[in-house]
Chains A and B, each alone.
With several copies, the nearest count.
Chain A
Amino acid sequence: MRISDRSEDFLAIVCVSGELDQATVPELRERLSSLLDEGARWLLLDMRELEFIDSSGLGVLIAAARRAGEAGGELTVVCARPNVLRVFDISGTRELLNLRQEEAQARELLAECRQRATAASQAGDSHDPNQP
């Protein structure tokens, strides 16, 4: 497995390639944790070059998605390889992980969610001026 990440605008983009199993999961878990610790909450995981995933790989993604959600953000996964898609499908995690097959769709989704979050907090501000 190889991981690289970069931040772009409000997004944290993480590319994961190779094989994601119990042997490589710790490295990805750490990387995602650091990013979340540093305040990243709009995560785009580019897994188009990922060749293998199993339930331990899903576990890290599910945990990171939960943390991003708790921070008011969202995690999306971009994936196109049929064997990897199949594992998302069978595990029923497609929706939870906001799976998209193209990067543009994932960016769009995150932009929309962020817009909605911003609008909601502004609406919240104007309706409840006592809130900080």
Chain B
Amino acid sequence: MTRTSLEVVQLTIPPHPRYLSLARLLVGGLGAQSKLTVEDLDDMKVAVSEAITNAIDHAYEPDAPGEIIIRYRPSEGQLVVEVEDSGSGFDPDKLDTSPPVPDLEGGLGLYLVRELADQVKVESAPGSGTKVIITKRAHG
């Protein structure tokens, strides 16, 4: 166990959708401390769900073991959430960042994250996992 002086809350879940709602509960629980409005928190809940769903769908083979780590860094005025997996990874430069066609079922996830967050950073490379860093500021 390493010690850290940063105020980080970390949640580690298996790559299964049944744990998605836990990650959202913590967004709600930490949001009050960050002075985010209810609307800000609702946006963050969707963004975090999308990033975790991507890790569940794309990072690991179905039913393969694995972990998804969600780090929450609350501070007054903003909440930063990192979603990290150690799965397949991908080349973020090849992502299509244009608005998705609304009648297609896929490709909406990261687009929603970008629209709902104030800042999004995707760190990934084939073979070395993915880290998505989402920042939401208080707009009160």
Contacts and interface: CB of A to CB of B under 8 A. Distances in A.
A91 B39 contact: no
Given A21-B17, A23-B21, A55 B102 contact: no
Interface residue range, chain B: 20 to 34
Contacts of B81: none
Contacts, number: 68
Interface in B97-140: 99-100, 102-106, 108-109, 111-112, 115-116
Contact of A58 (B18, B20, B108): B108
A21 B39 contact: no
Nearest to A23: B17
Contacts of B115: 90
Interface residues of A, number: 24
A83 B28 CA distance: 14
A93 B53 CA distance: 20
Interface in B57-74: 57
Interface of A: 19, 21-23, 52-56, 58-59, 62-63, 66, 82-83, 86-87, 90-93, 95-96
Interface of B: 17-18, 20-21, 24, 39, 42-43, 45-46, 49-50, 53, 56-57, 99-100, 102-106, 108-109, 111-112, 115-116
7 residue pairs, one from A and one from B, having the closest CB atoms: A83-B42, A22-B17, A23-B17, A55-B108, A59-B105, A92-B102, A54-B49
